[in-house]
């Protein structure tokens, strides 16, 4: 994985759409790609009160810089009661200009 690439389960889509208004630069639904303007936008997402509450965990700076697949498992586990998981779909979140 590249430094400014974050891979997360499809379950974060409703959170991204509903709670981070104004942060997302572009959403291409057909490709499942979210583009963020800056790394700070990713920090805003992972520090969002609703997201922290759902995940039951706060992220430190190292985790925010890049979320490894281990963290993906935590996200899936914490959200599976609230969102329908589709194992075949992955949403890739990259800083604008990296695609």
State the pLDDT at residue 58: 72
| Residue whose structure tokens are 């998981």 | 85
Q: What is the pLDDT of residues 46-99, one digit of tens each?
A: 666 766 776 666 766 655 554 433 344 444 555 554 444 344 333 333 333 332
Q: Which domain holds residue 24?
A: 5-95
pLDDT of residue 84: 40
| pLDDT of res. 41 | 55
- Within 8 A by CB and 6+ apart from 95, the residues are 4, 35, 36, 37, 38, 39, 42
Count of domains in the chain? 1
Q: The tokens of 40 are what? A: 């700070």
Q: pTM of the entire structure?
A: 0.30
pLDDT grade for 6, boundaries at 50, 70 and 90: very low
pLDDT of residue 4: 37
Q: How many CB atoms lie within 10 A of CB 9?
A: 19
Q: How many CB atoms lie within 10 A of CB 48?
A: 17
């Amino acid at each position: 994985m590249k430094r400014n690439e974050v891979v997360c389960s499809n379950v974060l889509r409703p959170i991204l759409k509903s709670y981070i208004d104004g942060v997302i630069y572009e959403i291409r639904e057909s490709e499942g790609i979210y583009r963020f303007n800056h790394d700070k936008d990713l920090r805003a997402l992972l520090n969002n009160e609703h997201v922290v509450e759902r995940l039951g965990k706060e992220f430190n700076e190292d985790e925010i810089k890049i979320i490894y697949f281990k963290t993906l498992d935590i996200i899936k586990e914490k959200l599976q009661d609230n969102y329908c998981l589709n194992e075949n779909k992955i949403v890739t979140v990259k800083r604008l200009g990296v695609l």
